[in-house]
């Protein structure tokens, strides 16, 4: 199975950005662990701070399942939401922090409506749990 992981704005700063919320492990290091742990699968990774690039990547449709952390776009990107709606691939939204324990504006996800599940508050382990779920369904 080819699994695409997409991260939105500022998630390239994992490991240095607000480590008290997001931890101190970089996405690159964690991604290497995932690729090693799921070596029977193909895991591709894409990160962008640009909404249109995220949409273009999803529309390439060259993957079997999607794990997406839209970052700040979670709360207001109807464009990404519409793109997810038009993708028939299995997809899980992941949030490193528990968005329901954060500021009020972070507690609303406009993208989650068009995903099969949401994992929030499991730290980076949310990506692993999403992959396991996709492989079991």
Per-residue model confidence (pLDDT) at position 100: 83
Per-residue model confidence (pLDDT) at position 137: 87
> Which residues in the chain show pLDDT less than 50?
none
For the annotated binding site for substrate, the residues are 69, 75, 82, 96-97, 106
Catalytic residue among 30, 73, 78, 95: 95
Overall pTM surpassing 0.85 (yes/no): yes
Catalytic residue among 22, 30, 73, 127: 22
Neighbouring CB atoms inside 10 A of 87's CB total 16
Per-residue model confidence (pLDDT) at position 17: 75
Q: How many Cα atoms occupy the beta-carbon half-sphere of 54 within 13 Å?
A: 29
Q: How many residues does the chain have?
A: 137
Query: What sign has the CA pseudo-torsion 120, 122, 128, 134?
Result: negative
Beta strands in 1-137 (DSSP E): 2-7, 42-47, 65-69, 91-95, 117-120
Identify the structural domains of the chain with CATH numbers, from first to last: 2-136 (3.40.50.9100)
What are 64's two structure tokens? 């079997």
- What are 71-88's pLDDT values in tens digits? 999 999 999 999 999 999
């Amino acid at each position: 199975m080819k699994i695409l992981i997409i991260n939105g704005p500022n998630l390239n700063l994992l490991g240095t950005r607000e480590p008290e919320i997001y931890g101190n492990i970089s996405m690159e290091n964690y991604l290497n662990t995932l690729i090693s742990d799921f070596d029977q699968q193909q895991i591709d990774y894409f990160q962008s701070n640009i909404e249109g690039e995220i949409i273009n990547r999803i529309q390439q449709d060259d993957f079997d399942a999607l794990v997406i952390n839209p970052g700040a776009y979670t709360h207001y990107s109807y464009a990404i939401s519409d793109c997810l709606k038009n993708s028939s691939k299995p997809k899980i939204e992941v949030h490193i922090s528990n968005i329901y324990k954060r500021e009020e504006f972070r507690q609303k996800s406009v993208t989650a409506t068009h995903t099969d599940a949401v994992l929030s508050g499991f730290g980076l382990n949310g990506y692993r749990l999403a992959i396991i779920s996709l492989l079991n369904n």
